[in-house]
Amino acid sequence: MNSVHDCGGFDGFGRVVPEDYDGREPVFKEEWERRMCGLFMITIGAHYSDDEFRQSRERLEPVKYLTRPYYEQWWFAVARLMMEKGLLTPEEFARHLAAGRAAAGNADILAGDA
Partner 1 sequence: MAGQHDDHDHDDHAHHDHPHHHFHRIHSEAADALLMSIADIEISARVKALEELLTLKGLVDPAALDAVVDLYENQIGPKNGARVIARAWSDPAYKKWLLEDPNAAIADLGFTGAQGENMVALENTDGVHNVVVCTLCSCYPWPVLGLPPVWYKSMPYRTRIVRDPRSVLAEFGTVLPDTTEIRVWDSNSEVRYLVVPRRPEGTQGMDEAALAGLVTRDSMIGVTEALTPEPAAEGAP
Contact residues toward partner 1 (CB under 8 A) are: 5-11, 13-19, 22-23, 25, 27-28, 30-32, 34-39, 41-43, 46-47, 50-51, 54, 57-58, 61, 64, 66, 69-70, 72, 75-76, 78-80, 82-94, 96-97, 100-101, 104, 106, 110, 113
Shortest approach of partner 1 to residue 72 CB, angstroms? 5
User: Measured in Å, how far apart are the chain's first and last C-alpha atoms?
Assistant: 32
Q: Do 39 and 28 form a contact (C-beta atoms < 8 A)?
A: no
**Nearest Cα to 1, choosing from 62, 57, 72, 55?**
55
